[in-house]
Chain A
């Protein structure tokens, strides 16, 4: 793994080796990009709980560096660090998620599915991301059901869907996202800190949050619409979620 200096500056050799050795070829490895530490923690947990291996970075630039796509045109792919999916926030200082998406789609890593997350439900933004080749668009705050659905339709059948993926992005996924017995795909991870069983969809809290939804008038958020379709196990894949929400700009 003789690599260029960029990596030795940013990643300690031990961390690197540890990551490589802990990567199981069966595990889905996701690179999550978000400038918010809170969001990084949440998305990391969401992914780990669905048995993914996660690497988080705080900017588009770091994501490109991780992939080996930084400006120095360093090309050699990292087989050891095979990334199976990239999930990125849209609004980031420096390079936006959209710009990152374009860079990836224009590179040797264009096959890697890229998912965009955004707290703003702007139809034009969603469309332009999909046009640039984004696999999906998730509205923040991201929920467990979103991640499960994503993982299920992208990585069930052992990634043989790579051909089918490119088309019909607005098509609803066939598999139900909340089927806890999607056995073969959600194999327990060997890593210590990962939960091997995805937590159940049904809320274990003693009351239904819907009862307590507030009637704050200032809430112009589209999220209020979304959250009224709560953790109920529908598979409104994000296409439906998007289309149901009228394109109100925040």
Chain B
């Protein structure tokens, strides 16, 4: 079972990655991150992505908080958060999230509250999707490592 499992897990991972590329959720910057992972830094991708998740959730909270102020939404501050979000998303290859942020930024520059609200909802949706898929990817990766370890146990 384990032998077949290893190959199947690898195939699952590739299929998921291919899907995410096809959907434009990830772009080649994500591959670049994978290239930076090796024996000397074996968890590089998940480390960076986890930092990205933490920062993104903070940004999303801040954006929602700013938009909840009906009287005066601080669009300038929103722009600052969005710039950060755009930057970090592009650094990990989160293409769709990044694009929604760009559209969001346009709305905030126009002081368009409704546009911002819509963009925020879309952003939250895209972010959730990305996070779920990346977690799935990391899970498959973990299973693959486990399966490989059992199959090729390290002799001490």
Contacts and interface: CB of A to CB of B under 8 A. Distances in A.
B87 A39 contact: yes
B111 interface: no
B103 A218 contact: yes
A213 interface: yes
Interface residues of B, number: 42
B95 A219 contact: yes
Contact of A195 (B14, B22, B41): B41
A141 interface: yes
Contacts of B28: 209-210, 227, 230-231
Given A41-B51, A216-B24, A218-B100, A223 B90 contact: yes
Contacts of A91: 83, 87
B99 A221 contact: yes
B27 A209 contact: yes
Interface stretch (A57-65, A72-80, A198-206): A198-206
A45 B24 contact: no
A126 to B, nearest CB: 17
A195 B102 contact: no
Contacts of B100: 218
B47 A212 contact: no
Contacts of A221: 90, 98-99, 102
A45 B88 contact: no
B96 A216 contact: yes
Contacts of B51: 37-38, 41
Contacts of B86: 119
A49 B36 contact: yes
B112 interface: no
A141 B24 contact: no
Contacts of B73: none
B91 A219 contact: no
B91 A45 contact: no
Contacts of A216: 24, 95-96, 99
A247 interface: no
Contacts, number: 115
A136 to B, nearest CB: 19
Given A213-B27, A218-B100, A45 B55 contact: no
Contact of A204 (B35, B80, B93, B98): B35
B33 interface: yes
Contact of B47 (A41, A195, A203): A41
Contacts of B22: 212, 214
Contact of B17 (A205, A211, A214): A205
Contacts of A231: 28, 31-32
A39 to B, nearest CB: 5
Contact of A140 (B33, B40, B90): B90
Interface string B59-103: 000000000000000000000100110111011110110111011
Nearest to B80: A93
Interface of A: 35-39, 41-42, 45-46, 49, 91, 93, 119, 140-141, 143-144, 193-195, 199, 203-207, 209-216, 218-221, 223, 227, 230-231, 250
Interface of B: 14, 17-18, 21-24, 27-29, 31-36, 38, 40-41, 44, 47-48, 51-52, 55, 80, 83-84, 86-88, 90-93, 95-96, 98-100, 102-103
Listed from nearest, the 9 A-B pairs whose CB atoms lie closest are: A214-B24, A212-B21, A209-B28, A38-B88, A195-B40, A218-B99, A212-B22, A141-B29, A141-B91
